[in-house]
Amino acid sequence: MKSQLSSDCGRGLFITVDGPSGAGKTTIVRHLAQMLPAKGEHVHLTAEPSGGPIGKLASELTETVTGHALACLYAADRYHHVEHEILPLLRNGHTVISDRYIASGLVIQRFDGVAPQFLWHLNAEARRPDLAVILEADPEVIASRLTERGPHNRFQHTPGSSYTEVEFYRQAAETLHGAGFEVFKVDCSSRPPEQSAAIIRRQLTQLPARCEVLTG
Ligand SMILES: Nc1ncnc2c1ncn2[C@@H]1O[C@H](COP(=O)(O)OP(=O)(O)O)[C@@H](O)[C@H]1O
Ligand SMILES: Cc1cn([C@H]2C[C@H](O)[C@@H](COP(=O)(O)OP(=O)(O)O)O2)c(=O)[nH]c1=O
């Protein structure tokens, strides 16, 4: 029998998880990666910025480069990430989960004043995921998680940034949905991360039929 999430046409599933800092992306993708593999299934966990040359450069420059230049750098990393890491794995039938992808590109550089339309055009040709998960959460909850964990970047230092970020992700989800992406929102304010991962796992079984066997 074929395993649960593998592809009959030699193409794996591509799942992306985006959302405000502190919503629980990194925690949830780890749970999801543990939950997904069926017999013989390969699940590859990746993230953006990627570990490739452009991703490393983008990471190094995030504190000092701003606006359009940084948006282009992150978009360049995204296209390179797809071509050199994600696509080869999908072609081998692997499931790929990315912690941050297009939605982050539509949101984070807005903190530097870059227009949403510019960000959309920059990202519009990146490979579409089979499921674009957007984590939602109460801004107060994620602000307190960030205070406990500590901010990861300069965008999180502005007071009230969690409120702005939650609203920007809501708009990004609308943009992606409007462009025909399979968008799935999960509220992570109060449920434990493993429960959010289980909800995403269940949603994968509801995807419109392609050639995957999703017998859950
Ligand atoms: N559902 C949750 N409930 C309580 N705390 C959580 C939950 N999800 C994540 N956390 C905690 O919040 C912090 C941020 O989680 P993380 O996965 O790093 O978020 P992100 O990758 O979205 O920034 C971490 O300290 C994590 O342990
Ligand atoms: C993917 C992406 C990341 N970034 C930056 C923001 C952060 O410095 C870093 C992601 O850090 P990360 O550790 O994922 O943040 P957090 O865990 O707090 O959610 O990459 C962008 O600015 N634009 C992008 O499109």
Helix axes 139-149, 161-178, angle to 10 degrees: 120
Q: Which DSSP letter does residue 155 get?
A: G
In a domain, 212, yes or no: no
Spans of the chain, pLDDT less than 50? 1-10, 211-216
Q: What digits encode the pLDDT tens for the residues 83-98?
A: 999 999 999 999 999 9
Number of structural domains in the chain: 1
User: How many angstroms separate the first and last alpha carbons of the chain?
Assistant: 13
In a domain, 211, yes or no: no
* Test site for ligand 1: of 21, 145, 152, most ligand atoms within 8 A of the Cβ: 145
On whether residue 193 sits in a domain, the answer given is: yes
Q: Is 66 in the pocket of ligand 1 (CB under 6 A)?
A: no
- Write the CATH number for 33: 3.40.50.300
The predicted model scores a pTM of 0.93
The ipTM estimated for the assembled molecules is 0.96
Structural domain of residue 178, as residue ranges?
A: 14-204
* Integer Cα distance of 174 and 162 in angstroms: 19
pLDDT digits (tens, 9 = 90+) for 149-177: 887 888 887 778 899 999 999 999 999 99
What's residue 41's pLDDT? 76
Residue 74 lies inside a defined structural domain of this protein:
yes
Does residue 214 lie in a domain region? Answer: no
Question: Across the chain, what does the average pLDDT equal?
Answer: 90
